Amino acid sequence: MKTLCCGLLLLTSPLWARDYSWTDAHLHYVDFMQESEGMDAMFQAMDKAGVVQAWTFGMPVVKKWQAEAPRRPRYYLGDEAPLYYYSATDDILAQAILKLPDARRERLVPFISGFNPTDMNAARHIEALIERYPGLWRGIGEVLTRHDDLTALTEGETPRANHPALMKVYKLAACHRLPVLLHSNLTSLREETPIYLKELEEALQSNPETRFVLAHAGTSGGVEERQTPLDTLPEIVRALLDRYDNLYIDLSWSVREHYLLDDGTPQADWLTLIADHPHRFTLGTDLVGHFDSMEKIMAEYRPLLDALPETVARKLARDNARALPEGGATPGCAAG
């Protein structure tokens, strides 16, 4: 194990730098106000960053502008007003995609996100959307569960990975061969142990035919800013990957910022983990409706990629995310 780690770390020299093309596997077309800079701005950013394809989805919640607010909020943490689930986000995305020329449309992998994950009708809503836009959708998510401050601000029942409503969604996803991008924090803002791990494992174990992508490796910026990073996260992720063949790991946002790199230096335990499971990781920007920082975020992954064997690096940068969605969903699966 030490030999592999040391060998990988030696590759961090700039002499080993490579050119990459990317698949952005985590890109929100709209922000928390359901607004976007638009498709032209998104494709300009993709071209500048060398992103050849993107998993693209809306935002399943919207921030409420309350009457007593001194100004219109711009972000979900802008004030104490709640968020609520917003199903129109999928139509916003779908209508924008359908206006694109074929060459651009082929570069986007649209996911369904605009449903309440605690609503027992959620699978029926997803099925209706599939029928409304036949052949368009390639995945489901980002499904927001256990997301610290965001969850606390969202009106209604607390979503969790093993909620009965989501169990129906997972089965529908398996029938349509749609991967599920699931945000499920492993722990809370105050607990330093993975108190929500059991919820995630129940979802994985009960749905072996559903391909799950765990957003941010089960972390979030809110958790990491309030406590030290979870030292056992690489061990937890390794155990999950070994135990569940239907699990993949998204390396965007908080896991990139707090775990993968230390002052630009790739962490040996993560390098080894990725090299041991070369087909099971994706990366992305997690931008929300505004795209000008796409090139900068992608460049932050370069030290990690350059420290991996080249074949593994190219899988992580582009190929794994391109291979996961098998094709457009087709009618015929019962929502239950």
pLDDT tens digits for 85-99?
999 999 999 999 999
pLDDT of residue 253 exceeding 90: no
pTM of the model: 0.92
- Domain residue ranges in the chain: 26-323
pLDDT in tens, 87-146: 999 999 999 999 999 999 999 999 999 999 999 999 999 999 999 999 999 999 999 999
Average pLDDT over residues 278-291: 98
pLDDT of residue 16 exceeding 70: no
For position 263, what pLDDT does the model report?
A: 87
Average pLDDT over residues 265-270: 96
- Quick check: 186 and 218 in contact, CB under 8 A? yes
Count Cβ atoms within 10 A of the Cβ of residue 211 and give its class: 0-12 exposed, 13-18 middle, 19 or more buried.
buried
Strand blocks (E) in the chain: 22-28, 51-57, 61-63, 83-85, 108-112, 139-145, 180-184, 212-214, 247-250, 261-262, 265-266, 281-282, 287-288
Q: What is the mean pLDDT of the chain?
A: 91
User: Which two tokens mark 333?
Assistant: 């699966």
Residue in the structure block whose two tokens are 């992580």: 316
For position 223, what pLDDT does the model report?
A: 62
Q: d(Cα 116, Cα 34) in Å, to the nearest integer?
A: 16
For position 15, what pLDDT does the model report?
A: 43
Average pLDDT over residues 259-263: 90
For position 6, what pLDDT does the model report?
A: 47
Confidence tier at 17 by pLDDT (50, 70, 90): low
Q: Domain 26-323 has what CATH class?
A: alpha beta
Average pLDDT over residues 267-273: 97
For position 11, what pLDDT does the model report?
A: 45
- Quick check: 246 and 235 in contact, CB under 8 A? no
